[in-house]
Amino acid sequence: MTTRALLRDVGATTVRHLVTIAGALVTMPVLARTLGSARLGFWGLLGTSAFLLALCDLGLGAATLRVAAGHDAAGAKRGARLAGLVTAVLAVPVAAGCGAWLHGVALRLPAEHQADARRAVTIALVAGIVHAIASAMRSYAHGQGRLVALAHARAVSALAQLVVTLALVWMSPSLTAVAVGYAASVAAEGLLSVRAAADDVWAKGLPTRDERRALFAIGRSALVTNVSVALCVRADVIILERVTTLEVVGVYSVAARLVDQGFTLVKQLSSALVPRLGTRSADRASVIHRGTMALGALAGAPLGAVAAAGAPLVVLWAGPAVDHPVLQVALTWLAIANVFAAIGEIPAAAISLAYDPAVVARASVASTAMNVALSIVGGWLVGAGAVAAATAIGNAVLAVMVWAATCSALGWSPRRALDALAPAAIATTVAAATSLAAQRLGAHPIAVVCAGACAGLAAAALRVRGVARGTEAATP
């Protein structure tokens, strides 16, 4: 694969998420100012429920991705059909259970908003089922390297959500309007994802018995990993719903959304590298090393600035509804959590795609167990800050275990791994220190975060350059 092709794929996936972020940057402050923190918190719970429906594929979507990144495109296409069928069967009862829970939570809203919340639950969960079913075809297209087409699908989806949501909220500021916007997004991305997966690969029907066994064997590990990751990322708001108010859930959801969107943007690098981490890749070790350096620096710099001094910028963006003491605490720990996620992202993908996915599954289970246990205990005893800190600790456990497995699989020394991880640590530390200094000097919130991010990136770039020179000097 040429450098030009890699840059094209990275650019496509980055543009795809830039459009999503642009939509979120416009819609989130509108929703925070029109819905208020309580209904915003309810939407956070509803969005989490819709997201969790993706787990109903039993890991077959990830198995399809693994096969599609290899040499059996026909088998991958049959696997995608099986994943969609399994998801369709399981998602309906799961959605019904989520709906029953959310109808109970809706009773905590003011009486005049409860009927609106129940309508939003129905619309969003139906859309979530459709999104989960279509994800199998996205996995096939992703593994086949059709990143430009998927980027187009996501861009159209984000634009549809933005236009529909803003138009309906302008007419009637309600949760139903937000849910319809989400449904429009799902419909657009689903149709275009199916189109992206269309090709001339002939694959009739469902997988054979042997193919099913292989897919479910991969899927078991992938399911454990997916459940663990979902709990790490999404269980926070569910736990908070039991221990605090919907207002705090709303503020926490805004902090999590901002941090997650920023991380997901830079994570598009790892998405573009997926076809180069599978079994058909000849330079996997180099891709892991260089990709981790780049991803760690790109994530650590902005997240370090947000972790140290991001709250004023969020309040400026989302409005007074999120001006709460828990905001900076949540930003700090969630940003740190995503730095740990960044340094483990590429090696985890490589282990899952080319080695033993059970390794990642075990690491995910350990991470999730730590996260959930600390979140429950800390949430009851301390509050929202402890729940965010538990996420960071859980992600740290995952990163350590994944890197230990990577070094073992590739025969790397600790020094080789530290070379890959150093840019993230440097970027995060320098960005945090710079943003705090700028804040104390009275700089504008935008200038504070930008100064920290730029300083972090510059420091990390110097480290990456030093590692590259050392590698060149060591090459005969």
One-character DSSP codes across 160-188: HHHHHHHHHHHH--SHHHHHHHHHHHHHH
Res 6: pLDDT: 56
Res 32: pLDDT: 81
Q: Is 363 a residue whose pLDDT tops 50?
A: yes
Res 9: pLDDT: 58
Q: What is the largest CA-CA distance in the chain?
A: 74
The average pLDDT across 439-468 equals 90
Contact present, 217 and 158 (Cβ < 8 Å)? no
Answer with the residue of higher pLDDT: 89 or 37.
Answer: 89
Task: Of 94, 143, 120, 135, give the one whose Cα is nearest residue 42.
Answer: 120
| 159-196 pLDDT tens trace | 888 899 989 988 888 999 999 999 999 999 889 888 88
Q: Is 280 a residue whose pLDDT tops 60?
A: no
- Taking residue 105's Cβ as centre, other Cβ atoms within 10 Å add up to 17
CA distance 290 to 216: 32
Region of poorest pLDDT, from 33-47, 111-125, 278-292: 278-292
Answer with the residue of higher pLDDT: 165 or 470.
Answer: 165
Region of poorest pLDDT, from 58-72, 116-130, 379-393: 58-72
Res 429: pLDDT: 96
Q: What percent of the chain has pLDDT over 70?
A: 88
Confidence at 476, pLDDT banded by 50, 70, 90: very low
Q: Is 117 a residue whose pLDDT tops 90?
A: yes
What stretches of 52-211 adopt beta strand conformation (E)?
none
| 237-279 pLDDT tens trace | 778 877 788 888 888 888 888 888 777 777 766 666 666 665 5
Residues 6+ positions from 360 with CB-CB distance below 8 Å = 221, 225, 348, 351, 352, 402, 405
Query: Per mean pLDDT, which of 52-66, 179-193, 226-240 is the most reliable?
Result: 179-193
The average pLDDT across 299-313 equals 93
pTM assigned to the model = 0.74
Region of poorest pLDDT, from 236-240, 303-307, 329-333, 385-389: 236-240
Q: Mean of the per-residue pLDDT values for the chain? A: 84
Residues 6+ positions from 408 with CB-CB distance below 8 Å = none
| 312-329 pLDDT tens trace | 999 988 888 888 888 999
Q: Is 356 a residue whose pLDDT tops 60?
A: yes
CA distance 334 to 337: 5
Q: What percent of the chain has pLDDT over 90?
A: 32
Q: What is the 3-state secondary structure (H, E, C) of 223-258?
A: HHHHHHHHHHHHHHHHHHHHHCCHHHHHHHHHHHHH
Answer with the residue of higher pLDDT: 261 or 141.
Answer: 141
Contact present, 32 and 23 (Cβ < 8 Å)? no
Res 10: pLDDT: 59
Res 248: pLDDT: 86
Confidence at 3, pLDDT banded by 50, 70, 90: low
Domain spans, the chain = 1-207, 232-476
Contact present, 230 and 368 (Cβ < 8 Å)? no
Q: Is 204 a residue whose pLDDT tops 80?
A: no
